[in-house]
């Protein structure tokens, strides 16, 4: 049996073939992969370890933290703080940027992450995941400030996600396509299993929380009405809705067979212009989707062109198969 390339081997070769990719990104990814393996092992044993359920506190987003949110957050912070790659970190679960400990070697990169996306689904054994984004630090050797992280998504050096499902996978891009790796538990390594992942330009599947229909803007209602009408409507074909409620799981399905994921602007909470976080969710997923041939907008603007105004900024998100995303974005422009 031929053994496939490991994540680190592949990333090293990719950097050699594309000088634009910093050589130390391979090592950074390998260190991050260790944290993802640890989180994945806890997710798989959550019921046995009694680490399901609420932690009894809210995060900066005003959301009820799950026990595994807290544990996963600490796993990445501790796993990455002493690697020498980072100048600082930002987490969805923390109000302020995390500094590299005194005495630890500081690197040239910033790491942003959602430690456990979809954690509310843990109790019902639905796939969850980790989302990450890597930026170049404006300066190295000093404590980071929030402004350091406020870079447009187009500035990302690397981004991706890990999905903890029937198998554990890590999917990433450094700007030269998207590749997926599956964890082989027998040897403890992520092995290349999904080379050059591509999102079909057209699709008959879509993912959206239909219970919010009455709160959507007219362009989104128009688009969804057309899909629901199926063969009897203006599109002349049937569509299927698939909604997991875990962004990682929904986007991973789209990465494998196409579709459109939407969490559009709605009026349900006037204080929130969108549900998803630009820095921790929208930017990294938009980078991955675009590198796989898809598209990602907030309904009006390309996600990767949005200039962040805060570490925890929220935005609407429409991403996936290019032709479908362009259609619903066009309805907004009309």
Strands (E), the chain: 54-58, 64-66, 86-91, 98-99, 109-117, 128-136, 158-164, 168-173, 178-184, 189-194, 205-207, 240-241, 260-263, 276-277, 295-297, 314-315, 317-320
114 is in an annotated binding site: yes
Which DSSP string do the residues of 113-159 spell out, in sequence order?
EEEEETGGGGGGT--EEEEEEEEE-SSSSS---HHHH---GGG-SEE
> Residue 16, annotated ligand binder?
no
**Cα dist from 96 to 147, 158, 224, whole Å:** 11, 22, 38
The annotation status of 135 as a binding-site residue, yes or no, is: no
Residue/partner pairs of 64-72 with CB below 8 Å, 24 or more apart: 65/93, 66/116, 66/119, 66/120, 66/122, 68/39, 68/42, 68/43, 68/116, 68/119, 68/122, 69/93, 69/115, 69/116, 69/119, 71/39, 71/42, 72/39, 72/42, 72/115, 72/116, 72/119, 72/130
Q: Any binding-site annotation on 79?
A: no
- How are beta strands 109-117 and 86-91 bridged, if at all? parallel
The CA distance from 11 to 177, in Å, is 12
The answer to whether 233 is a known ligand-binding residue is no
Number of alpha helices (DSSP H) and beta strands (DSSP E) in the chain: 9, 17
116 a known binding residue?
yes
DSSP 8-state symbol, 245: S
272 is in an annotated binding site: no
117 is in an annotated binding site: yes
Q: Is 225 annotated as a binding residue?
A: no
Q: CB within 8 A of 63, min separation 6: which ones?
A: none
Binding site, annotated residues: 92, 114, 116-120, 209, 275, 281
Residue stretches of the annotated binding site for substrate:
117-120, 209, 275
Binding residues for Mg(2+), as ranges, are 92, 114, 116-117, 281
């Amino acid at each position: 049996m031929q053994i496939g390339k490991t994540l680190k081997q592949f990333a090293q070769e990719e950097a050699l073939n594309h000088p634009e990719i910093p050589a130390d990104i391979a090592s950074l990814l390998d260190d991050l992969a260790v944290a993802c393996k640890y989180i994945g092992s806890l997710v798989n044993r959550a019921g046995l370890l009694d680490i399901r359920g609420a932690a009894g506190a809210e995060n900066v987003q005003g959301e009820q933290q799950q026990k595994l949110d807290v544990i996963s957050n600490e796993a990445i912070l501790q796993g990455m703080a002493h690697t020498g790659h980072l100048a600082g970190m930002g987490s969805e679960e923390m109000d302020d940027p995390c500094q590299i400990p005194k005495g630890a070697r500081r690197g040239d990169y910033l790491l942003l992450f959602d430690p456990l996306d979809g954690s509310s689904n843990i109790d019902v054994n639905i796939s969850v995941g980790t989302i990450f984004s890597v930026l170049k630090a404006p300066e190295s050797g000093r404590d980071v400030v929030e402004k350091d992280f406020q870079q447009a998504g187009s500035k990302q050096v690397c981004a991706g996600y890990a999905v903890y499902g029937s198998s554990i996978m890590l999917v990433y891009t450094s700007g030269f396509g998207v590749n997926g790796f599956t964890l082989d538990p027998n040897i403890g390594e992520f092995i290349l299993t999904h080379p050059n992942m591509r999102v079909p330009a057209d699709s008959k599947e879509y993912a959206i929380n239909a219970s919010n229909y009455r709160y959507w803007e007219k362009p989104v209602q128009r688009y969804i009405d057309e899909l629901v009408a199926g063969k009897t409507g203006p599109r002349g074909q049937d569509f299927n809705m698939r909604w997991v409620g875990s962004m990682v799981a929904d986007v991973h399905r789209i990465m494998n067979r196409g579709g459109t994921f939407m969490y559009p602007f709605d009026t349900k909470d006037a204080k929130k212009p969108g549900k998803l976080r630009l820095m921790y969710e929208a930017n990294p997923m938009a980078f991955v989707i675009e590198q796989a041939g898809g598209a990602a907008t907030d309904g009006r603007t390309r996600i990767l062109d949005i200039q962040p105004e805060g570490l925890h900024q929220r935005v609407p998100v429409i991403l996936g198969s290019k032709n479908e995303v362009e259609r619903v974005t066009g309805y907004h422009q009309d």
